[in-house]
Amino acid sequence: MGSMKKAVTTEETSFDHQNNATMTIKEAQETVDQWIKTVGVRYFSELTNMAVLTEEVGELARVMARRYGDQSFKAGEKDNLGEEMADILWVLCCLANQTGVDLTEELRKSIDKKTNRDARRHQDNPKLKA
């Protein structure tokens, strides 16, 4: 499957991005950075983006509570679980870019840490047995 370029154009700005079936975390960080620099003008401050991340997590929590919890959707509310998760990833990429964090490397380290720390913990947990 070949990659297709998609152009997003506003009155003053054009932004091209690859419309691939898959995107690595590194590519996501690079795409967000390019979008910020061409369409978004500049990054919000790190503290503002932390607040935005918190807001996006709250929006995801609302959808989860309505889809899987006891609440129902209000009139006009969307069941947009994936969109809310993508919004979180977007802001997380912004924060990583701003602070010089390579999310791919940090995720690898996190998986290694959890694997070493929890090698038997979950298999031995009687609460997780079927």
Dump pLDDT digits (tens) for 21-50: 799 999 999 999 999 999 999 999 999 999
pLDDT above 80: residue 109:
yes
pLDDT at residue 1, rounded to an integer: 38
Q: How many CB atoms lie within 10 A of CB 92?
A: 20
Mean pLDDT of the chain: 89
Structure-block tokens of residue 46? 């790190």
Structure-block tokens of residue 78? 């969307």
User: What does DSSP say about strands 5-9 and 14-18: parallel, antiparallel, or unpaired?
Assistant: antiparallel
- Cα–Cα distance between 39 and 45 in angstroms, integer? 16
pLDDT more than 70, % of the chain: 85
pLDDT at residue 4, rounded to an integer: 43
Structure-block tokens of residue 117? 């720390």
pLDDT at residue 20, rounded to an integer: 61
Q: For residues 10, 16, 19 and 25, what is the CA-based torsion angle, rounded to 10 degrees?
A: -110
Q: What is the mean pLDDT of residues 77-102?
A: 98
- Cα–Cα distance between 104 and 85 in angstroms, integer? 18
